[in-house]
């Protein structure tokens, strides 16, 4: 079985695709380009209309270039609009997020000596070490989904209806997965979740993100942990202080702001204020002076006035953020925001998004300039020509190293971002 997996969207989707890859390799599958594969899995995203469009275009292209392949569409778009996807050329199989873990059993015969997902992440040695290794799945970091689903009522977000309620992987299974990843040669593991800060609340013996991080800090491997997106109210002083004191966690935090205007935050149903966000970011910068701090922002949310847009720009210009992900508002069918009046005209939405991206570029350039002369630990990416530093900078380095090597890099220039490896 030759397979291809095409992944859109967030790190949770990337982690899901990694699990599919492991299962396919356990059944003897081998990677192939999508136009040559026997099985093509398209793991879709539906956070924006653009994401939906990307999924449709990919499915149409596979149907045109590889009409004999079995095509499976899964992910959030496939969950939200199953009939719409099933009607596309080639009539792909549609599997919701709830059935994603069973895709391989649907398309391949069960092999009796292959471990189940639970066994693979149980105690002791397992199949994971032989199934994936750095670079095989296209990344040097191991993406581990420790939580999925969300119970927050953000007005613009479709994810609670496509991922369901919050659910966590218990700490014992998380630690077993870390051991497998370390035994497979991974030096970095990214903790992912739809609402990562809610980790553990749903477990039979309730836990917390702080408890998970403390357990990871004690893990006997030498894996470095990178925390993916955290909501501002979940990035507590305890979390920040633990990351700062540990040495096991990358100094990199992604904190979605979405908007700095009080009225817009209320309309979005975001459960924090700009003052809280500012305190969290300032604490991170104080405790982790070299940290990369990213954020998500929505431009043109319904009802956004010029004064609201200016509020966000004013905060950003003097903030310690180091990069931005900007999303022009896109109405998602079934969300509260899709029914709100006072839509912002499309050209104005795009103009405001462009202004936010311009500020984001300035923030990133400013941060890179502050790092010139510093020495940062990192991992060489595939080919060894780029190092991803612990504080989330991709630094061009001279050739001579392979991928997935731990290195120290002295940053020598900000534009373009280049450095020299230090022994």
CATH number of the domain that 380 lies in?
2.40.50
Distance CA 75, CA 44 (A): 5
Q: From first to last of the 423 residues of the chain, give the pLDDT tens digit.
A: 899 999 998 889 999 998 898 889 888 899 999 999 999 999 999 988 899 999 999 999 999 999 999 999 999 999 999 999 999 998 899 999 999 988 988 887 544 344 444 344 333 333 333 456 676 555 688 999 999 999 999 999 998 889 999 999 999 999 999 999 999 899 999 999 999 999 999 999 999 999 999 999 999 999 999 999 999 999 999 999 999 999 999 999 999 999 999 999 999 999 999 999 999 999 999 999 999 999 999 999 999 999 999 999 999 999 999 999 999 999 999 999 999 999 999 999 999 999 999 999 999 999 999 999 999 999 998 778 999 999 999 999 998 888 889 999 999 999 999 999 997
Residue 272 forms part of a structural domain: no
DSSP letter assigned to residue 99: G
The count of domains in the chain is 2
Give pLDDT, residue 126.
31
Residue 245 forms part of a structural domain: no
Give pLDDT, residue 210.
97
| Closest of 326, 336, 262 to residue 302, by C-alpha | 336
Residue 413 CA neighbour count, 13 Å, CB half = 6
Residue 363 forms part of a structural domain: no
Q: Please give the structure tokens belonging to residue 272.
A: 């924090």
DSSP letter assigned to residue 258: B
Residue 391 forms part of a structural domain: yes
Indicate the burial class of 423 (C-beta count within 10 angstroms; 0-12, 13-18, 19 or more): exposed
Give pLDDT, residue 121.
39
Distance CA 140, CA 136 (A): 9
Residue 15 forms part of a structural domain: yes
Measure CA 180 to chain center.
21
**Residue where a domain terminates, one of 113, 148, 165:** 113
CATH number of the domain that 47 lies in?
3.40.50.2300
What 3-state DSSP class applies to 28?
Answer: coil
Q: Are 98 and 164 spatial neighbours (Cβ–Cβ below 8 Å)? A: yes
Residue 171 forms part of a structural domain: no
Residue 20 forms part of a structural domain: yes
Give pLDDT, residue 387.
95
Phi, psi of 256, deg, nearest 5: -65, 125
Give pLDDT, residue 135.
60
Is beta strand 375-380 parallel, antiparallel or unpaired with respect to 386-389?
antiparallel
Distance CA 28, CA 26 (A): 5
Distance CA 374, CA 290 (A): 9
Residue 149 forms part of a structural domain: no
Give pLDDT, residue 382.
72
DSSP letter assigned to residue 249: B
Beta bridge partners of residue 70, listed in sequence order: 39
Q: How far is CA 313 from CA 295, 297, 366, in A?
A: 13, 11, 16
Q: Is 112 left (phi over 0), alpha (psi -120 to 50) or beta?
A: alpha
Phi, psi of 367, deg, nearest 5: -65, -45
Cis peptide before 416 (omega within 30 of 0): yes
Residue 21's domain comprises 1-113
**Residue where a domain terminates, one of 113, 132, 147:** 113
**Residue where a domain terminates, one of 87, 113, 139:** 113
């Amino acid at each position: 079985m030759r397979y291809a997996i095409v992944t859109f969207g967030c790190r949770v989707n990337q982690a899901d695709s990694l699990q599919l890859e492991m299962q396919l390799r356990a059944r003897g599958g081998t990677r192939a380009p999508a136009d040559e594969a026997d099985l093509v899995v398209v793991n879709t995203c539906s956070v924006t209309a653009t994401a939906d469009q990307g999924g449709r275009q990919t499915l149409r292209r596979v149907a045109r270039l590889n009409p004999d392949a079995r095509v499976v569409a899964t992910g959030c778009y496939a969950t939200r609009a199953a009939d719409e996807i099933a009607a596309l050329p080639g009539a792909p199989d549609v599997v919701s997020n709830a059935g994603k873990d069973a895709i391989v059993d649907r398309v391949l015969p069960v092999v009796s000596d292959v471990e189940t997902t639970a066994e693979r992440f149980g105690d002791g040695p397992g199949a994971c070490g032989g199934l994936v290794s750095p670079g095989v799945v296209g990344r040097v970091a191991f993406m581990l989904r420790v939580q999925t689903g969300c119970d927050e009522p953000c007005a613009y977000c479709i994810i609670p209806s496509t991922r369901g309620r919050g659910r966590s992987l218990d700490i014992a299974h998380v630690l077993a997965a870390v051991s497998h990843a370390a035994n497979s040669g991974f030096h970095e593991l990214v903790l992912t979740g739809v609402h990562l800060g809610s980790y553990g609340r749903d477990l039979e013996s309730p836990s917390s993100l702080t408890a998970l991080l403390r357990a990871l800090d004690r893990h006997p491997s030498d894996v470095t942990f990178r925390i993916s997106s955290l909501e501002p109210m979940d990035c507590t002083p305890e979390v920040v202080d633990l990351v700062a004191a540990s040495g096991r966690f990358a100094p990199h935090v992604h904190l979605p702001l979405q908007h700095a205007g009080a009225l817009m935050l209320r309309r979005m149903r975001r459960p924090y204020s700009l003052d809280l966000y500012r305190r969290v970011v300032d604490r991170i910068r104080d405790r982790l002076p070299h940290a990369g701090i990213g954020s998500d922002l929505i431009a043109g949310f319904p009802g956004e006035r010029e004064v609201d847009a200016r509020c966000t720009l004013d905060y950003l210009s003097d903030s310690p953020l180091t990069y931005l992900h900007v999303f022009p508002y896109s109405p998602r069918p079934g969300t509260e925001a899709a029914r709100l009046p006072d839509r912002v005209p499309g050209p104005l939405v795009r103009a405001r998004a462009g202004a936010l991206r311009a500020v984001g570029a300035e923030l990133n350039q400013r941060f890179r300039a502050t790092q010139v002369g510093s020495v940062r630990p990192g991992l060489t990416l595939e080919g060894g020509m780029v190092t991803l530093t612990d504080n989330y900078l991709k630094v061009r380095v001279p050739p001579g190293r392979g991928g997935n090597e731990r290195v120290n890099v002295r940053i020598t220039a900000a534009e373009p971002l280049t450095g020299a490896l230090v022994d």
